[in-house]
Amino acid sequence: MQFHIQQLHAWAPGLDTDEAWQAWARHPTGLPDNNEQPGCDFLPPMQRRRLSRLARMTMHAAWPLCGEHEQLPLVFASRHGETPRTFALLSEVADEQPLSPTQFGLSVHNAIAGQWSILRGQRGESVAIAGEADTFEHAMVEAAALLGDGAPTVLVVIAEERPPTAYDDWIDDVPFSYAVALRVGGIDAAPSTRWQLRLEPHQGTSAPAAWPHALDFVRALHVGEAGLEHTWKTRRWIWQRIP
């Protein structure tokens, strides 16, 4: 699979400019996560109030990569999805309280993709996926399929929110909340922005990635790495810049 990374826009607490991400990429470190969220001032107040933190992160990262009247296929990917909202619903069940149909409807995994379609007036295809630690690569496989079907450009967004502390024993791959949006096209572009992704079988054990795969890719883009590898279970994903 070959891609042209046309544009990148990412958000994390305290990281909202290319300069800030450049500095983080040179010295990656954990970030304090105190429920900070993007302002999303491009939306009217009523629409902003209806968005969860994860949805705000997604909209903020993706919004600048889509033209005002442009129709782009969307791949939304999140391993854990709306964990805080789901935890709140489960807490209400445990307390024998009535559930909000609206909160339940917005907790499903494709809700954010639907909100994006409504807010941006997008009438095309959208895909919402949840995988394992290599959800990022599976999102890029979905993008490759859409490009192969004739889409000239695809918008890929990977977003994760720090889960409630009750999940600490089960979720250990979200060091801080983040959203990464990539505008992806074919490879007819400058070499520095062209990448190839290859999947090979993996056997034996391997150390987990130091950072979630999407964040590691952002780091590699900013520091100019020629390639990187991500392994998970029986899968070995190999990223290489195309010369």
Q: Residue 97, Cβ neighbours under 10 Å: how many?
A: 10
Q: Residue 208, Cβ neighbours under 10 Å: how many?
A: 12
Closest CA to 80 of 102, 99, 107, 56: 107
CB 87 within 8 A of CB 79: no
User: Which pLDDT band, with edges at 50, 70 and 90, does 190 fall under?
Assistant: low
What percentage of the chain carries pLDDT values higher than 70?
Answer: 98
CB 80 within 8 A of CB 50: no
pLDDT in tens, 100-120: 887 888 788 899 999 999 999
Amino acid identity, position 157: V
pLDDT in tens, 64-94: 999 988 999 999 999 999 998 888 888 888 9
Query: What pLDDT does 191 receive?
Result: 59
Place of tokens 């891609």: 3
Amino acid identity, position 52: S
* C-alpha count within 13 angstroms, C-beta hemisphere, residue 41: 0
pTM: 0.93
Query: What pLDDT does 154 receive?
Result: 97
The domains of the chain, with CATH numbers, are 2-241 (3.40.47.10)
| 189 pLDDT above the threshold of 60 | no
